[in-house]
Structure 1
Amino acid sequence: MTIPVLVTGTSSGIGRAAAERLARRTDLTVYATARRLDSIQSLAPAGARLLELDVTDEDSMRKAVASVEAEHGRVGALVNNAGYGEYGTIEETGLDGVRRQFETNVFGLARLTQLVLPGMRAAGSGRIVNVGSMGGRMVFPGGGYYHASKYAVEALTDALRFETAPFNIKVSLIEPGLIRTAFGDTAAHTLAESSRHGSPYSRLNAAVDEQMAASYRSRLLSAGPEAVAKAIERALTATHPRTRYVVTPAAKALVHTRRLLGGRVFDSYLRMQFGGAR
């Protein structure tokens, strides 16, 4: 019997790469999901089954979980991948956009987890893999609200891992660094949208935009989505999965550097990279 795996946000980037990689395995039945089925039709020939799923819609989430449970009795593994970046300064970013981001990055993840857990507990096993970010352990200017959503994923994952351990449900967190997907373009777009003409943060926003673009172009600092897909596969299939998988050498270096330097020294590093706010 294969293990049914529900993967969210598979229309592009990390989610698509994960669905394609997992679908090649004979021990897994992969359910690739997206808000629009037409965006994931190409995953069907790869071996994935397709489901419509909007993680900001309660009815959509219930239907997707029910579809998997109707065929397999439970969702054997859940990969909470859906997410995006709402960028801009704390003062200028519209809170409606921030709320939409939290609905996707945090509340959708939490609600879908709630929906699959009863079936996993009844079966006495399960896997939950949350795709967070190295941005859940450090903060760069211009991305405070995005980082806040990923810090929330860190906290939820740590609590969930402890709470579900008695039921043989294993929980892991994936912490990618810079991954060459459409994420960078989306972040740059929201950064531009958040900044008004004559903004007091115009120099900072320009510096953030320039650094972001250069970093995503760098083969040294970034990686392709396949690197994250590989870590997701390990978290799903390892007998003793890690609590965290930090993806890309640059991300590992930055996470440890932030921890070792402390707040004041890291702020000095950021000033060197981005300059002041005026």
Structure 2
Amino acid sequence: MGKVVLITGASNGMGFDAVKLFLENDWLVYAGARRLEKMAPLAQLGAKTAILDVTDHQSNVSFVEKALSEQGHIDVLINNAGYGEYGPLEEIPLNTARKQLETNLFGAADLAQLVLPSMRKQASGRIVNISSIGANLYTPLGGWYHVTKFGLSVWSDVLDSEVKPFGVRSVVVQPGITKSSWSDIAFTNARNNLQPNSPYEKLIGKVSQFFKRASSGATSVDLAKVFYRAATDVKPKQRYFNSTADRLTVYLARNHPKIWRAIVNRLAK
């Protein structure tokens, strides 16, 4: 039987290129995203594409059941769907914050609950959760995004401790700032979340410029390779990074919080 992987958020960026990489390595790929038409090139390459809204339980059920009914097993779930709901915490509507939690955290948890019974039964499987270096550090305007990525990482660690005895593993990938549309979308959201005459308007420009300067230059193709390692390593690691710079940034923020706070304070001044 061929290896089966489910990849969410597959219509662009890291998810899109991860689908291509898994196909090139002869995996059976089920690719899900809200915009089916953007996955047409993946379908032409052999991916089984489906409309998927990870905030909709029935959509998640249909996605998983299709793979199980057609293949009888699932080897890997890659929880990649997510976005950045940026904006000042004083002004972001809480309904908008809840949408961020539903997409970046609860969607992953729902899909994991759906695939785990079959993984436990076959005594193998892996859940790869795409978090961020933003799980361990923070910048102004990213409050709710950082909450979801920190939560996803901790949730993954707890899950791993629970399912490891059954032969299943849950691991985390922590990308840094990549060459993608992610930042553009995040800061468009930040501007949309501003109240009229907001005192935070200038801060958006400062943080946006900081992101441009801090970009590692990594591409979605680079991250797809990290996804693949996380899914296939015989002895999986708890955390996967694309570069030494990403790993060191996390180390700095976690082990020298005063230094990171000084960086943030200078940014927000």
The equivalent of 1:248 in structure 2 is 243
Cα distance between partner residues in 2 of 1:270 and 1:36: 36
The equivalent of 2:227 in structure 1 is 232
Tell me the C-alpha RMSD between the 2 structures. Answer: 1.4
1:252 deviates by 1.7
The equivalent of 1:15 in structure 2 is 15
Show the 5 A alignment for 1:46-61.
46-61=45-60
Consecutive aligned runs of 4 or more in structure 1 exceeding 4 Å deviation: none
With over 3 angstroms needed to count, the CA separation of the structure-2 counterparts of 1:268 and 1:33, relative to structure 1, is: same
The equivalent of 2:144 in structure 1 is 145
Q: Name the amino acid aligned to 1:126.
A: G
8 Å CA contact retained: 1:74, 1:116: no
Q: Name the amino acid aligned to 1:5.
A: V
The equivalent of 1:191 in structure 2 is 190
Matched residue SS, 2:5: strand
The Cα offsets for residues 201-248 of structure 1, whole Å up to 9 and x where unpaired, read as 2332221122224434xxxx2310111111111111111111110223
Cα distance between partner residues in 2 of 1:93 and 1:275: 18
Q: Which runs of 5+ in 1 are unaligned?
A: none
1:95 deviates by 1.5
Matched residue SS, 2:256: helix
Cα distance between partner residues in 1 of 2:243 and 2:100: 25
Q: Name the amino acid aligned to 2:262.
A: S
8 Å CA contact retained: 1:172, 1:243: yes
The equivalent of 2:76 in structure 1 is 77
The Cα offsets for residues 131-155 of structure 1, whole Å up to 9 and x where unpaired, read as 0000011111110110000011011
The equivalent of 2:132 in structure 1 is 133
Cα distance between partner residues in 2 of 1:149 and 1:89: 16
8 Å CA contact retained: 1:191, 1:209: no
The equivalent of 1:113 in structure 2 is 112
Cα distance between partner residues in 2 of 1:44 and 1:265: 47
1:49 deviates by 1.6
Q: Name the amino acid aligned to 2:252.
A: T
Q: Name the amino acid aligned to 2:228.
A: E
8 Å CA contact retained: 2:177, 2:211: no
Q: Percent identity?
A: 36
The Cα offsets for residues 21-46 of structure 1, whole Å up to 9 and x where unpaired, read as 111112x2111111232120110222
Q: Name the amino acid aligned to 2:170.
A: V
The equivalent of 1:122 in structure 2 is 121
Cα distance between partner residues in 1 of 2:40 and 2:239: 31
1:75 deviates by 1.8
The equivalent of 1:40 in structure 2 is 39
Cα distance between partner residues in 1 of 2:217 and 2:147: 22
Cα distance between partner residues in 2 of 1:210 and 1:196: 21
Q: Name the amino acid aligned to 1:19.
A: V
Instruction: Say which is worse superposed, 50-59 or 175-184, in terms of deviation.
Output: 50-59
8 Å CA contact retained: 1:24, 1:46: no
User: Given the two structures, how large is their TM-score scaled by the length of structure 2?
Assistant: 0.96
Cα distance between partner residues in 2 of 1:201 and 1:140: 14
8 Å CA contact retained: 2:187, 2:204: no
Cα distance between partner residues in 2 of 1:259 and 1:137: 6
Q: Name the amino acid aligned to 1:105.
A: N
Q: Name the amino acid aligned to 1:39.
A: K
Equivalent residue for 1:223, pick from 200, 206, 218:
218
User: Given the two structures, how large is their TM-score scaled by the length of structure 1?
Assistant: 0.93
8 Å CA contact retained: 1:54, 1:60: yes
The equivalent of 1:177 in structure 2 is 176
Cα distance between partner residues in 2 of 1:39 and 1:94: 30
Show the 5 A alignment for 1:192-207.
192-207=191-206
| Count of matched residue positions in the alignment of Structure 1 and Structure 2 | 269
8 Å CA contact retained: 1:33, 1:51: yes
Matched residue SS, 1:16: helix
The equivalent of 2:211 in structure 1 is 212
The equivalent of 2:88 in structure 1 is 89
Cα distance between partner residues in 2 of 1:195 and 1:213: 21
Cα distance between partner residues in 2 of 1:269 and 1:103: 30
